[in-house]
Chains A and B, each alone.
Chain A
Amino acid sequence: MNYFQLFDLPATFELDLTELGSRYLALQRKFHPDNYAAASNRDRLMSVQQTANINDAYHSLKQPLLRAEHLLALRGLKISHEQRSFTDPVFLMAQMELREQLEEISTSDDPEDAIMAVEQQLQQQRKLLLRQLAAALEANTAEQNQQAAELVRKLKFFFKLQHELELIEQQLQD
C-alpha cells in the first residue's frame, strides 16, 4: 500500500507534517467506525480496516526513518526487516567510541556536562546524515537509493544511541 497516496500527498521525503496531521484527522473522522454503526457488515468491516490502514500510514510517515523506509520500499528496496549485518568498519568503530563515551558518563566528574557533550555530537551527526538522506532520496537514482538505504541503516544506530542516552539521563535523575 502506498501511504502517500492514502493521504493524497506527493511521495517525497520532505513532507509537510502539519498537512499530514490534518489529513490524518480528516480521514480518521471520515472512516470512524461510529459513522458505520447502521451500515452493512461489509461496510463496517471496511471502515475498521481503513482506520487501521490510516493509523499505520500516519505512524510510518510521521517518523523520518520509517518514512524513508516506506519510500524506498515503494521504489523496490525493502530494508525494514532485513537481518543482514552492517559491516562498515570505520562507522562501527566510531559507534563503539560513542558507546564508550556513554558508558563513562555516570562516572565522570560532571555527568550533566558529559551528557550535553554526547547529546551535541549525536545531534550534529544525525542532522548531517538526515540531510544526506534527503538529498539521496530526492535524487532517486538506483545508486542514490542504495545510498539512502545505507544512510537509513546508519541513522538507526544513532537513534539507538539517543535512546540509550535518554535512559542514562533518567537513571541519573532518579
Chain B
Amino acid sequence: MAYSNKVIDHYENPRNVGSFAKDDPSIATGMVGAPACGDVMKLQIKVNEQGIIEDAKFKTYGCGSAIASSSLVTEWVKGKSLDEAQQIKNTDIAHELALPPVKIHCSILAEDAIKAAIADYKQKRGG
C-alpha cells in the first residue's frame, strides 16, 4: 500500500496526540469506530466561551490513513467556530491526504468524529 507523503508525515509526526481531562466542562469528546477494520478514534475539542475551538487532541488505533485523517482534522478545527468545524467534509480530508479509494472510509471516520465531538459539546451545554 503506497501512502502519500502527507499521510506519512502525519503518521510519523502526528499532531495533537493525547487526551484532555474529561471532567473539564469546556472539553467535548467524539468517539467513533469502523467495524470493518476495527479502527477506533477519539477526538476531543476544547471550546471557549465564544464557541471557538481553542485546542483539539486525538487518539486513534488504526491504520496510517486513519491516524493521518484524525491528526489533520485536529489541525483544521483549531480556531474554527463549531459551525465552521461542522462543515468539514470527508472529501476535503481525503483530497488533502490524497487517500486512495479503499481508504476513503478513514476520512469518513474523521468527519464523523468531529461531528460527534460537536454533538457532545452541544449536549453538554444544553443539558
Taken together as a complex, chains A and B put the C-alpha atoms of A70 and B109 apart, in Å, by 25
A164 nearest CB neighbor, chain B only: B38
B49-70 interface (Cβ within 8 A of A): 59, 61
Can you name 5 A-B pairs with beta carbons within 8 Å? A82-B35, A83-B36, A87-B31, A89-B29, A157-B38
Question: Which residues from A are CB-within-8-Å of B21?
Answer: none
Cβ–Cβ contact A153 & B35, under 8 A:
yes
In which size bucket is the chain B interface? 20 to 34
Max chain B Cβ within 10 angstroms of own Cβ: one of A86, A153, A159: A86
Taken together as a complex, chains A and B put the C-alpha atoms of A86 and B108 apart, in Å, by 11
A12-57 interface (Cβ within 8 A of B): none
Residues of A at the B interface (CB closer than 8 Å) are 81-83, 85-87, 89, 91-93, 95-96, 99, 152-154, 156-157, 159-161, 163-164
Q: Is B42 an interface residue (CB 8 A)?
A: yes
Residues of B at the A interface (CB closer than 8 Å) are 29, 31-38, 40, 42, 59, 61, 104-105, 108-109, 112-113, 116
Main secondary structure of the interface of A (DSSP, over half): helix
Could you say which of A81, A89, A99 contacts B31, with CB atoms under 8 Å apart? A89
